[in-house]
Amino acid sequence: MTNKSLAKRPEDTCVLVTGGAGFIGSHTCVELLAEGYRVIVLDDLSNSSKEAVRRVRRIAGAGGERCAFVEGSILDRDLLGRVFAENDVDAIIHFAGFKAVGESVEKPLEYYWNNVAGTLVLCDVARAHGVKNVVFSSSATVYGEPEFVPITEDCPKHAPTNPYGQTKSMLEQVLSDLYAGDGEWNVVLLRYFNPIGAHPSGLIGEDPKGIPNNLVPYVAQVAVGKLAAVGVFGDDYPTPDGTGVRDYIHVVDLARGHVAALRWMGGKVGTGEPRGLGSVAGEPAPDGTRRGVGIFNLGTGRGSSVLEVIAAFSRACGRELPYVIKPRRAGDIAVNYAACDKARDELGWVAEYDLDRMCEDSWRWQSMNPDGYAS
């Protein structure tokens, strides 16, 4: 079966956003709606709330009418069948999945089942309805301990140290093999670095359940007085101040990267040259829509240390945030940051916002919603 064409206007394009009520998904829906796309959010709310979708609609204003919500799982084949049968879906942006690194070590079966089996079911039902345009949320975790920084897309992949990371690596392989077996597939693998920040409205943001595992949500809860002090995991790394260095990227920039990927898949940006650095280029369809597997890092290209993040957040919230040095966290690497030239050159996308802006927006969200969507 031929693939759906993306060579059309956003107004005529319907995007199924799995996991669209989540942190990155909700911000991506806002950007899609702002560009005129029609959006269907499919989310089982296992790590999010319906309130996020309401707020996405609020931010979108009149465009909010183009955002439908379906509560359910990507593992539910019958439900997916109905979603595809009742809607003229053109493309999928696939965020749905579990993402807690530590939890994945304790619950490998749940992680492989939800992330891997869920994606297989999704792709199978999509294919049966002629939808072979997929943007997938991958992660810098697929590089493992990187062989060099800044990390380019052709940096060799290394085995991730946890089941969560394994699911990302496996699903990159699965999606690449779909194209290898059927040249109609048009796949983009987006390898995110460290998404933080929130929408500047303060209406949507990251809402972790329980004590946050990730640095910025933890710092934000210290800033709002819910936690006493930030634990800094190691100050003896070979970095300028001894703490770990990461490439933090504003979630709004990241969200816009998905819109850029959709345009690129539709043949609307890029040079048309063979895709370098890890990607596999296919012959474009007669309508100019691309075929193949495009791989892109989404980061800023700049690394910041844990202490720099705490300092930036302190500036944002107007007080020195307390921290204590703790032992290194198992599995952490010293430094990772992205080379983003490929996304710039081919997608026409660059991250705009700096660390201060990320922390300001994160602080606005946290202070307006100290208990997240339950506030």
Binding site residues, ligand UFG, CB under 6 A: 99, 101, 139-141, 165, 194, 213-215, 218, 231-233, 244, 246, 306, 329, 332
DSSP-assigned letters across all residues of 133-202 = EEEEEEEGGGG-S-SSSSBPTTSPP---SSHHHHHHHHHHHHHHHHHHH-TT-EEEEEEE-EEE---TTS
Supply angle C-alpha 131, 96, 107, rounded to 5: 135
User: Counting contacts by CB under 6 A, is residue 47 touching ligand NAD?
Assistant: yes
User: Counting contacts by CB under 6 A, is residue 79 touching ligand NAD?
Assistant: no
Stretch that binds ligand NAD, among 6-14, 40-48, 83-91, 146-154 (CB under 6 A): 40-48
User: Counting contacts by CB under 6 A, is residue 21 touching ligand NAD?
Assistant: yes
- CB closer to ligand UFG out of 83 and 359: 359
Q: Give the residue, chosen from 7, 34, 35, 46, that forms a contact with ligand NAD under the rule CB under 6 A.
A: 46
Nearest to 278 by CA among 250, 297, 305, 302: 297
Task: Check 111, 164, 218, 353 and give the catalytic one.
Answer: 164
State how far the Cα of 51 lies from the Cα of 55, in Å rounded to an integer.
6
Nearest to 266 by CA among 292, 294, 290: 290
CB of 9 to ligand NAD, least distance (A): 27
Q: Which of ligand UFG, ligand NAD, none does residue 233 bind to, with CB < 5 to 8 Å depending on kind?
A: ligand UFG
- What phi, psi does 318 have (nearest 5°)? 80, 15
Q: Give the residue, chosen from 45, 174, 178, 224, that forms a contact with ligand NAD under the rule CB under 6 A.
A: 45
- CB closer to ligand NAD out of 233 and 281: 233
Q: Which of ligand NAD, ligand UFG, none does residue 63 bind to, with CB < 5 to 8 Å depending on kind?
A: none
User: Counting contacts by CB under 6 A, is residue 247 touching ligand NAD?
Assistant: no
User: Counting contacts by CB under 6 A, is residue 217 touching ligand NAD?
Assistant: no
Q: Which of ligand NAD, ligand UFG, none does residue 73 bind to, with CB < 5 to 8 Å depending on kind?
A: ligand NAD
CB of 297 to ligand NAD, least distance (A): 11
Per-residue binder mask for ligand NAD (CB under 6 A), 186-205, x = binder = ------x-xx----------
From residue 28, give the alpha-carbon distance in Å to each of 252, 308, 360, 375: 7, 27, 20, 23
State how far the Cα of 163 lies from the Cα of 145, in Å rounded to an integer.
15
Whether residue 373 lies in the annotated active site: no
Distance of CA 189 to the CA centre of its chain: 10
Helix 118-128 vs helix 163-181: angle between axes, to the nearest 10 degrees?
Answer: 20
Residue 304, SS3 per DSSP: strand
Nearest to 269 by CA among 340, 352, 343: 343
- What phi, psi does 192 have (nearest 5°)? -80, 145
Q: For the segment 112-141, give every residue that binds ligand NAD (CB under 6 A).
A: 114, 118, 137, 139
User: Counting contacts by CB under 6 A, is residue 95 touching ligand NAD?
Assistant: yes
Helix 306-317 vs helix 355-368: angle between axes, to the nearest 10 degrees?
Answer: 60
- CB closer to ligand UFG out of 32 and 306: 306
Point out which residues bind ligand NAD (CB under 6 A). 18-19, 21-25, 42-48, 73-75, 95-99, 114, 118, 137, 139, 192, 194-195
Active site positions, annotated: 164
